[in-house]
Amino acid sequence: MRFTCLILFTMVACTVFPSAVQADDVISYRRHVWPILKRHCFACHSGGKPEGQLSLATAASIARGGETGPLVVPGKPRESLLIEMVSGAEPSMPPKGRPLSQAKIDILKTWIGQGGKIDSIAPLAESRVVIPREYTHAPALAAVAFSPDGQRIACACRSEVVVIAANGQGPPLRLQTNSDLLTHVEFSADGKLLLAGGGTPSRFGEVSVFSMAGGKRILSRRVSQDTLFRGGFSPDGKRVALGGADGAVYVIPLDKTSPPQRIELHSDWVVDVAWTPDGTKLITAGRDKATKVASYQTGKLLRTVDSSAERVSSVVTDGVFAVSAGKSRTLIGYQLDVALQNVGVTGAGNGAKPVTRRNQYVKNFESQPGEVIDIALSGDRKSIAVAGTAAEIRVYTVADRKRTAVVKGVRVPVFCVALNQNASLLAVGSRDGRLEVFRLPKGEQVFSRIPVPMKKAVTRR
């Protein structure tokens, strides 16, 4: 399922499991079953909108089951939906990733065979984020950003932001957060602050702000019950808007006390948010396949500018156009003034239908060679870089949609890209944890490195 999901699942910390069960072992829900469900199922089956309406958050909700009813027929593992869903050559659950091991399925079966009682649910204790001094496996790069002066590059590496010099030299500056997984990094316009957004899946969303002068965290705020996704600083630098896993956009003031604003726009994860340069509008991209424009002042939807056949991953805007793309390989520019004509009259509220015909404001770019996972906007807002599952990154000028550069042979899948102020440098972060920087328009590689410190390779026998 979806890349963001993939990032979440590959990065969420592992739990230790009991080894194989014997038939006469007494299985405890809390000690044996819950760790399995928590690790493999909880992320999708919890929160405000659990998948299949099945929430594993409380004993009562587990007993109730989902759309199709209870999970468990006590004493009868073979008749229980839970076992049916996780067994077989291609088990239905989890829908993506490695199926449950036979040992874990046996634990579930034995538990149901013994009556399937839920003795108690372990409280979801605050799990401490552990940041290794050196990594054995490089964490995937979820986000990357240039400082406005182009001297530094910040990378979101699991729970920490790692800042390195833009020439690739020197030791990294490591800035820790309390989020399991960061999804967004960004420097403030004056380069003095560094913002990191993310959270711990099914627990909380969080923004952390660091002062670049002291390398210290000066603010951290938690909102919502789930991870936050991409977004950005408001043009005045006073707040940040990030997408939420509950279909809302969170606008979070960068002080300790003003309440955050929650703008409900989508029916599924809001994966990216972009401010228009005048700060009046938010353009949002949702896993519900829609690209929307909302008024920041009123929090109201102005228009759903598009509904794609596939999910949308990223959105940027230069103020004249919004550009979004995702799985469908189409990169589309939306001319905002045309798209928003007459919106005051008929366009308010959710589900508003565009009054202007779509083809009047849609400006297609050339089609893309692969699924688009991230679009970067240069600091001057004139250029974009488009990256994803294809081994090449294409750069365009927003105004005329002309391609200005192609960088080939990058490591796939690319999870994130960034451009510096005038699009002379491109930073590329991949799932395998490597950061590559290229000079544009020619595409010469400046450097390629893993930003986090790695354990020295152990000699293999």
CA distance 94 to 409: 33
Nearest distance, CB of residue 107 and ligand HEC, angstroms = 12
Nearest distance, CB of residue 43 and ligand HEC, angstroms = 6
Nearest distance, CB of residue 96 and ligand HEC, angstroms = 6
Figure out which of the listed residues 11, 25, 35, 52 binds ligand HEC, where binding follows CB under 6 A.
52
Alpha carbon of residue 256 to chain centroid: 24
Q: Nearer Cβ to ligand HEC, position 167 or 267?
A: 267
When asked if residue 93 is in the footprint of ligand HEC (CB under 6 A), the reply is yes
Nearest distance, CB of residue 318 and ligand HEC, angstroms = 35
When asked if residue 101 is in the footprint of ligand HEC (CB under 6 A), the reply is no
When asked if residue 51 is in the footprint of ligand HEC (CB under 6 A), the reply is yes
Nearest distance, CB of residue 412 and ligand HEC, angstroms = 22
Tell me how many residues contact ligand HEC (CB under 6 A). Answer: 25
When asked if residue 66 is in the footprint of ligand HEC (CB under 6 A), the reply is yes
Figure out which of the listed residues 7, 21, 33, 82 binds ligand HEC, where binding follows CB under 6 A.
82
Q: Which of 201, 44, 40, 58 is nearest to 129 (CA)?
A: 201
Figure out which of the listed residues 71, 140, 196, 418 binds ligand HEC, where binding follows CB under 6 A.
71
Figure out which of the listed residues 7, 12, 81, 274 binds ligand HEC, where binding follows CB under 6 A.
81
Q: Nearer Cβ to ligand HEC, position 62 or 398?
A: 62
DSSP sequence for 280-319 = SEEEEEETTSEEEEEETTT--EEEEEEE-SS-EEEEEE-S
Q: Nearer Cβ to ligand HEC, position 287 or 292?
A: 287
When asked if residue 35 is in the footprint of ligand HEC (CB under 6 A), the reply is no
Only one of the segments 51-59, 131-139, 226-234, 325-333 lies at the binding site for ligand HEC (rule: CB under 6 A); that segment is: 51-59
Helix (H) or strand (E) holding 19: none
When asked if residue 62 is in the footprint of ligand HEC (CB under 6 A), the reply is no
Only one of the segments 36-44, 146-154, 213-221, 387-395 lies at the binding site for ligand HEC (rule: CB under 6 A); that segment is: 36-44
Q: Is 338 helix (H, G, I), strand (E, B) or coil?
A: helix
Q: Is 38 helix (H, G, I), strand (E, B) or coil?
A: helix
Nearest distance, CB of residue 112 and ligand HEC, angstroms = 12
CB under 8 Å, gap of 24 or more: what pairs does 439-446 form?
Answer: 440/395, 440/404, 440/405, 440/407, 441/395, 441/404, 441/405, 442/405, 443/405, 443/406, 443/407, 443/408, 446/166, 446/167, 446/168
Q: Which two tokens stand for residue 351?
A: 């589900």
Q: Is 325 helix (H, G, I), strand (E, B) or coil?
A: strand
Does residue 331 contact residue 386 with C-beta atoms inside 8 Å?
A: yes
Q: Which two tokens stand for residue 345?
A: 């009259």
**Cα→Cα distances 280→223, 249, 276, 381, 442, Å:** 23, 15, 6, 17, 36
Q: Nearer Cβ to ligand HEC, position 107 or 322?
A: 107
Does residue 184 contact residue 166 with C-beta atoms inside 8 Å?
A: no
User: What does the binding site for ligand HEC look like in residue numbers (CB under 6 A)?
Assistant: 1, 5, 40-41, 43-45, 51-52, 54, 65-68, 71, 81-82, 85-86, 92-96, 100
